[in-house]
Amino acid sequence: MMLELIVNYISYAMLLLGSFLSLTFGLGLLRFPDFYSRMHAAGVADTLCAGLIIFGLMLQAGLTLISVKLFLILLFIWFTSPTSSFTLASTAYRCGYGTNDKGEQA
């Protein structure tokens, strides 16, 4: 009984932290001055928030098929999100976006 309660509280904490972070990073995406710093905000949010929220949900679900699916989703996000962030950044950089000719940030 006790254990269940603790697990529940941990799950709630993770969910709340996740939502708080998603809001802050959302703000970052909105307010940061240039593309590369915005990308930083979005990238961190994607991996960290997703991890927190999905782990939170997994704790709620317990050891079931649902948790397996959640884990798959998380795995998927962890694989694809950094990949696309990286590809996006490198493409933007290669296209010369937001940098001067020497490759330094303008």
Partner 1 sequence: MEQLINVILLAMLAIVAIATAKLKDLFATIILFGIYSLLTAAIFVSLDAVDVAFTEAAVGAGISTILILSTIALTARTEKPSTHSVFLPLLVVIVTGVTLVYGTLDMPGFADPDAPVQQHVAPRYLNDSINEVGMPNVVTSVLASYRSYDTMGEVVVIFTAGISVMLLLSSVKHREDELGNLKDLKHHPILLYVSQIMIPLILLFALYVQFHGDFGPGGGFQAGVIFAAAFILYGMINGIDNTRKIFQNHILRWLAVTGVILYIGVGVVTLFLGGEFLNYNVLTEDNLAGQHYGIFLVELGVGIAVAATMLSLFLTFSEVRRSQ
Partner 2 sequence: MILATTAIALLIAMMMTLIRAILGPSIFDRVLAVNAFGTKIVLFLGVIGFLTERPDFLDIALLYALINFITTLAILRFFESGVLISHEDKEAE
Interface ranges with partner 2 (CB under 8 A): 12, 15-16, 18-20, 22-23, 25-27, 29-30, 34-35, 38-39, 42, 45-46, 49-50, 53-54, 56-57, 60-61, 66, 69-70, 72-73, 76-77, 80-81, 83-85, 87-88, 91-92, 95-99, 106
Query: Which residues, at least 6 apart from 39, have a Cβ–Cβ distance to it below 8 Å?
Result: 85, 88, 89
**Which one, of 96, 102, 55, 99, lies nearest residue 77 by Cα?**
55
59 binds, options partner 1, partner 2, none, Cβ within 5 to 8 A by partner type:
none
* Contacts to partner 1 by CB under 8 A: 76, 79-80, 83, 86-87, 90
The neighbour count for residue 68, using CB atoms within 10 Å, is: 12
* Cα–Cα distance measured from residue 27 to residue 5, given in angstroms and rounded to the nearest whole number: 33
User: For partner 2, which is the closer residue by CB, 2 or 12?
Assistant: 12
Which two structure tokens, joined as six digits, stand for 42?
């979005």
